[in-house]
Structure 1
Amino acid sequence: MYQVTVDYAKANLEELCDRTEKEPDGVVIVRENRSYILITQEEWESLAETSELMQDPKLLQHIASARREYAAGETLTMEQVFG
């Protein structure tokens, strides 16, 4: 993860915006022993959607069930699913 100081970020915001496009985990901006993350709007929306989905009890039950089936070997091959 690319990390810079807040002073560097202030002086180089345009560069950091470009860098954010290339850094999968965003850019860390450090100020007085605290860290802040600069990410793209697309990444933010993806994280927000994932967070919302992970609060759905039914979805979590389906995921847990699928994991148990997978661990027990109760899976289908691509051929079985799609012919």
Structure 2
Amino acid sequence: MHTVLMVILLFASIFMIVSILLQTSKSDGLSGSIAGGAEQLFGKKKSNTYDMMLSRVTTVSSIVYIVLVLAIVTVFN
């Protein structure tokens, strides 16, 4: 049982790392503050975009990761 939970934990951590690395940056740096201020105010809706899907994958995988870590620590220690 411990090995199965550790393998699931490994996959959850890999999914979390990949989904975080594939997301676009939320800040534009200095160039965004000069030129792209209007896009933040009147930008496109991101409810059904690739970034929103990656954000949901990140959220779900982080919740699974935390639950598995807590389960492994409480049950097997």
TM-score, reference length from structure 2: 0.33
Richer in helix (by share): 2
Higher relative contact order (CA 8 A, sep 6+): 2
Richer in strand (by share): 1
Larger radius of gyration: 1
